[in-house]
């Protein structure tokens, strides 16, 4: 076409001008955004072989995209997995991880009682009607968990590295042993810890899931999820869900998340430092009834030390106000000037959330009380601002 392009009508030139140029001689130092839904090849034979998986390549962005692949490979390497697949959200990634475990009618999922509310809803409202039963267990009671696994014979166990919102640390080593003794697979949601603080596959987990919207991206400007598996055999199922269900990650989002991953270490260092200082400050405040933070709670400190990066306990602090009511929680949150009321976490700015009306609002009040999620509980995702400014804002809000 190049030789004859000047002979084309202007309508044709407008479509094709500037396209199909050779790749630049210089290697980009940052992964480009491949903003193309489709791909072409020199011959149909070559395209056929790519479609058939005989040679590597891309044919349609629902099946794969170079920018998304770069993100997948980065997280696969960081989490020490055999395969990784990115999706449009953390929930899509979790759905794919469950699917990879070959759940079928009659199967049982043994789920931590301390899960993100939407995860529980996924298990009950999406997998439940398919004949898959969900049984809850306290993952901090290992003897009870082992007994329940023996009784219900689950196909899957699922928990969070650091639970939402009470920040309990999971003994992944022990839970993976329990799962494998029962012939089950262990899925760990590693969102709250990030791979910088914990790499669950090293502790025996079979699959790891992240909401990449949170710490991996870190700037509240991109949504995505990723599922990583220790076994290459999961690749077909993970990619199959992506292709057929269609929850694919946009190359634009992949680029933003990949950029965020590059600064994850330095951000997490500051997040954790600030969170620790805030937790210690609030522990001595008479207006706060209880502080939830892995270093300060009643959990097994040996487990916490073994699961998390040395001396770092995450970026989340949850507090229960002395006036343990929804009205008091709302007054406190409305009085904040620096800290943002937000339905997410893991961003560079400090944000607050009311679990009873946000992440766990679909649970009945009785169930929330049973789990320890009171109306006065507030979850704080501590950002990277000056800790003095964060404390000052929280102090004036408590005073209000």
- Please count the other Cβ atoms lying within 10 Å of the Cβ belonging to residue 278: 22
CB 208 within 8 A of CB 201: yes
Q: How far apart are the first and last CA of the chain?
A: 71
Cis link prior to 178 (omega < 30° from 0)?
no
Active site includes 189?
A: yes
Among this protein's residues, is 139 annotated catalytic? no
**One-character DSSP codes across 352-400:** EE-GGGTTTTTS-HHHHHHHT--TTEEEEE--SS-HHHHHHHHHHHHH-
Return d(Cα 106, Cα 100) in angstroms, integer: 16
Q: Report the distance separating Cα 179 and Cα 146, nearest Å.
A: 8
What is the Cα–Cα distance from 96 to 141, expressed in whole angstroms?
Answer: 28
Which among 155, 168, 214, 379 is annotated as catalytic? Answer: 214
Judged by DSSP in three states, 58 sits in: coil
CB 189 within 8 A of CB 209: yes
Q: Are 41 and 55 in contact (CB under 8 A)?
A: no
Query: Which listed residue (116, 139, 196, 292) is catalytic?
Result: 116
Of 189, 234, 347, 375, catalytic: 189
What is the three-class DSSP state of 165?
coil
Cβ(247)–Cβ(92) under 8 Å?
Answer: yes
Report CA 336 to chain centroid distance, whole Å.
27
Q: Which two tokens stand for residue 282?
A: 């609030």
Which residues, 6+ apart, have CB-to-CB distance to 365 below 8 Å? Answer: none
20 is catalytic: no
Active site residue 298: no
Residues 167/301/299/394 CA torsion (nearest 10 deg): -40
Run of H or E including 305? helix 301-307
Q: CA-CA distance, 215 to 221, in Å (whole number)?
A: 12
* Largest separation between any pair of C-alpha atoms in the chain: 81
Which residues are designated catalytic?
62, 116, 189, 214
């Amino acid at each position: 076409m190049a030789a004859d392009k000047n002979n084309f009508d202007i309508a044709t030139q407008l479509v094709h001008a500037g396209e199909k140029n050779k790749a630049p001689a210089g290697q980009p130092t940052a992964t480009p955004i491949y903003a193309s839904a489709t791909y072409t090849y020199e011959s149909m034979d070559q395209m056929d072989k790519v479609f058939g998986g005989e040679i590597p390549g891309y044919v349609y962005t629902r099946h794969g995209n170079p920018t998304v692949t770069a993100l997948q490979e980065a997280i696969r390497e960081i989490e020490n997995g055999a395969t990784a697949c990115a999706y449009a959200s953390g929930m899509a990634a979790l759905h794919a991880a469950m699917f990879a475990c070959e759940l079928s009618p009659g199967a049982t999922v043994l789920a931590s009682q301390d899960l993100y509310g939407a995860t529980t809803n996924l298990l009950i409202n999406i997998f439940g009607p398919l004949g898959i039963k969900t049984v809850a267990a306290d993952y901090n009671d290992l003897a009870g968990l082992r007994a329940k696994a023996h009784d219900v014979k689950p196909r899957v166990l699922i928990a969070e590295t650091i639970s939402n919102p009470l920040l309990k640390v999971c003994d992944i080593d022990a839970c993976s042993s329990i799962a494998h003794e029962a012939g089950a697979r262990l899925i760990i949601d590693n969102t709250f810890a990030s791979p910088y603080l914990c790499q669950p596959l090293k502790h025996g987990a079979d699959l790891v899931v992240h909401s990449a919207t949170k710490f991996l991206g870190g700037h509240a400007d991109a949504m995505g999820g990723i599922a990583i598996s220790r076994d290459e055999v999961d690749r077909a199922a993970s990619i199959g869900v992506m292709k057929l269900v269609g929850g694919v990650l946009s190359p634009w989002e992949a680029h933003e998340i990949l950029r965020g991953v590059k600064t994850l270490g330095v951000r997490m260092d500051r997040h954790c430092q600030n969170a620790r200082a805030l937790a210690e400050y609030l522990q001595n405040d008479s207006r706060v009834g209880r502080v939830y933070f892995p270093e300060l709670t009643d959990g097994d400190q040996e487990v916490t030390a073994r699961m998390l990066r040395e001396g770092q306990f995450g970026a989340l602090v949850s507090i229960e106000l002395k006036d343990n009511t929804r009205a008091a929680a709302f007054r406190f949150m409305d009085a904040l000037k620096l800290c943002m009321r937000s339905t997410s976490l893991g961003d560079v700015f400090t944000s607050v959330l009311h679990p009873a009306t946000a992440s766990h609002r679909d649970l009945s009040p009785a169930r929330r009380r049973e789990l320890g999620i009171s109306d006065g509980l507030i979850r704080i995702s501590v950002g990277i601002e000056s800790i003095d400014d964060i404390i000052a804002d929280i102090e004036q809000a408590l005073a209000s």
